[in-house]
Amino acid sequence: MIILGIHDGHDASAALMVDGKIVAANQQERFSKLKGDYGLPVDAIKNCFKLAKLSFGNVDHVSLASKTLNPVLLRLKRNANFSVSDWIKEQEDYWKPVKFQKKKVNYWKLFKNSKNFKQDKIYNYDGVLSSYMNYKIMNTFLKRRVNTISKFLKIDKSKISTQLHEDCHKYYSYYFFDNRKDGILLTSEGVGDYSSGSVSTVKKNNFKLKAHTKENHLAHIYQYITLLLGMKPNQHEYKVMGMAPYAQNYEIKKCLKTFMEILKIKKLNIVYKKKPKDLFFYFKDKFKDCRFDGIAGALQVFLELNLSKWIDSCIKILKNKNIYFSGGVAQNIKAGMYASQNTKLKNIFIPPAAGDTSLSIGACYLLAHQICDRKKINKNNYIKPINNLYLGFRNDQDPEKYILKNKLNRKYIFKKDYTNKEVAKMLSQGLAIGRCFGQMEFGLRALGNRSILCDPRKFENISIINKKIKKRDFWMPFTPTILFEDRKKFISNPKNLDGRFMSMAFETKKFAHKNLQAAIHPYDKTARAQILKKNDNKEYFEIIKEFKKITGVGALLNTSLNLHGLPIAMDYKDTIHVFKNSDLDVVLLDNCYLKKK
């Protein structure tokens, strides 16, 4: 049975499931080069079929995530196209007159002529752009989405199922893992089909919704503060999280009370304690005399405390100590780490790319679950977990031919069939190396196949990579890949959390403080580590193993292979673009490398 999962909202993606196993998954942004791209992920879909060596005619079912997409935002590709100025314009010219002056404002007209916007041209938007949030219009638009998918794939509409947004999140968070346990499933995000926060239970693979609310504004508050601090909502929340540890307690206390007055835990839901007329303008006024780091620090504490209290309440009411957590808020790794330290909790499962990126995979899992119910198939035997995320695009060009065709060998030192020992030696000598190897990773994190690698022992490598390659904010930490056999030297993991995919943060030990100076947070010494086993990625594992033989350190600094503001490099062309426009010393193109003279 072949199921195609599609997510066509922001961070659009596609996934292909064959007989209960996810065999391919891609994000549209990697092909379009528009970070966070929206719309029908045509290129991602095509590549999934290419990787699986299947054709559209082989599809048995299509599972489409989300029933209520906002056509105005999709046409504008808002989250992908908006600058900070555009986000401010939205607040000042749309929400302010709508909420405070009760005026009618046409959102589409405000932004339709914005320069440099790459608008969606695939779906039919006739007559559906007049209103910002209208469920009748969104229902009409859903039918058009289904029609477009039917025509694109050349399949009958009866093969296409539409799934609730939140359900895709929770089925993904459960079926992703191989050690599935009965538990509580939490979702928390900006907006779904029926909630911004939900609580469900799973018992013997059967799911039951227990509570949901549209007042769980943890995500919205984090988004608005990100904007008030001069950064892009829905993209740069991780920067606010990275800044938070630098704040002093005095500055945090000045802001924390304001945050804590807004929300409260009411049984299974997070709801308003005090409801401002508008969250953005409320915080803008309240924090006008506060420092930026204090605001960031207090925001992170506010999120951690509320998440932990919510978990406590759910455990007490539902009598289960296993938590599955998904939705955009689950991508806050520090909050996840804080929650994992809760003594009332037994297990916490947070899958990688827990936000909307993974809805396509969740849609596959959800439909497979429904089909198993109908056909009385054992779900545990049929629905497979995901053991690695190397599910995306693979270069099918010969790297040597690519290099010679583009005459790159004339400008750079070229070598074919290098050894992992050679790579490790260059890393130990302080060189920064970009690696484009095999299938690319699905999700938000580079896991070695589309990574920039560097010696983690040298603190100065933080500024070198920030200034010369990534061109990103000075306060942001880098991350390590650690050999599984050496994990206990570097990190503390009392609950044995899944560290394969950089979806969790960990406290680190003194050995890491000394030997991972460039790959842990400079201030609080935490690490968003990738714990690597040999059978997860043999070649990458061997590079780190050889580096350990030279240096005694079984870890590398690992950050995504991209320039700031661009998606992770997909192919040789993207990789060479990064190489030419940065101070990377070496790039590995599968079995060949180029080195600057």
**Inter-residue long-range contacts of 288-294, CB under 8 Å, 24+ positions, other chains counted:** 290/251, 290/254, 290/255, 291/247, 291/251, 291/254, 292/229, 292/243, 293/243, 293/244, 293/246, 293/247, 293/248, 293/251, 294/247, 294/248, 294/250, 294/251, 294/252, 294/254, 294/255
Q: What is the pLDDT of residue 275?
A: 96
DSSP state string for 84-95? HHHHHHHIIIII
Spatial separation of the C-alpha atoms in residues 321 and 341, rounded to whole Å: 13
DSSP tag of 485: G
Mutual angle of helices 292-318 and 249-260, in 10-degree steps: 50
CB atoms within 10 A of CB 178: 11
For residue 64, the cross-strand partners are 6, 162
Task: Spell out the residues 6+ positions from residue 479 whose beta carbon is closer than 8 angstroms to its own.
Answer: 445, 502, 519, 527, 528, 529, 530, 557, 558, 559
Predicted TM-score of the model (pTM): 0.97
| 471 has a pLDDT exceeding 90 | no
Banded model confidence at residue 470, pLDDT cuts 50, 70, 90: confident
Q: Please tell me what DSSP assigns to residue 210.
A: E
At 490, the pLDDT band (50, 70, 90 cuts) reads very high
Residue 586's pLDDT band (boundaries 50, 70, 90)? Answer: very high
Examine the pLDDT at 133 and tell me if it is beyond 90. no
591 is written with which tokens? 């079995």
Indicate the pLDDT class of residue 162, thresholds 50, 70 and 90. very high
Say whether pLDDT at 474 is over 90: no
pLDDT band (50, 70, 90) for residue 472: confident
3-state secondary structure of 200: strand
pLDDT tier for residue 85 given thresholds of 50, 70 and 90 = very high
CB 38 within 8 A of CB 120: yes
CA angle 546, 548, 551 (to 5 degrees): 115
pLDDT of residue 468: 80
pLDDT tens-digit profile of 213-267? 999 999 999 999 999 999 999 999 999 999 999 999 999 999 999 999 999 999 9
CA distances from 573 to 43, 115, 454, 579, 580 (A): 17, 27, 22, 10, 11
**Residue 337, CA distances (Å) to 221, 253, 488 in order:** 20, 22, 17
- Quick one: average pLDDT of 271-284? 97
Tokens 């030419």 correspond to 580
Mean pLDDT over each residue of the chain, to the nearest integer: 96
* Residues with Cβ within 8 Å of residue 266, at least 6 apart in sequence: none
CA–CA distance, 420 with 466 (Å, rounded to integer): 26
**Residue 50 gets which letter from DSSP?**
H
How would residue 564 be classed by pLDDT, with cut points 50, 70 and 90? confident
